[in-house]
Amino acid sequence: MHDLTNACSAFLREAVHGRSGLLNVFTPHATSGLAVIETGTGSDDDLLAALRDILPADGRWQDRHGGPGRGSGHVLPALVPPHATLPVVDGALELGPSQSVVLVNSDRDSSERAVRLSFLS
């Protein structure tokens, strides 16, 4: 899990010049998703634990891309979607006081992930 909140805010400071609209965040990977969640208080660890319970890395999966036990990662984006659309008010990300935007990556062998940010006004 990687917190993207600061990167999103930096993008908005550079790109939107105080306007209001929507920030679209997208990750173009089959084994990654985006979540809005509280971080640092245990909720992030709880999310990862829940995903491990729901999507165990074992041989039960039909999808064998990447080898046995890797199919669960390809189901992740159905539960943690690869996109998020977030409100922007006067150039600032409008999250709740405890919310963060995080990338969830289930592929332990490929930790480098791209994220695309776009602003709709």
Tokens of 82: 């690869």
* Residue 69 in this model has a pLDDT that exceeds 90: no
Which pLDDT score is estimated for 109?
72
Distance CA 99, CA 10 (A): 16
H/E stretch holding 32 reads strand 32-37
Tokens 């039960």 locate to: 60
List, for residues 76-111, the tens digit of each pLDDT value: 899 999 999 999 999 999 999 999 999 999 877 777
Q: What is the pTM of this model?
A: 0.89
Distance CA 119, CA 21 (A): 7
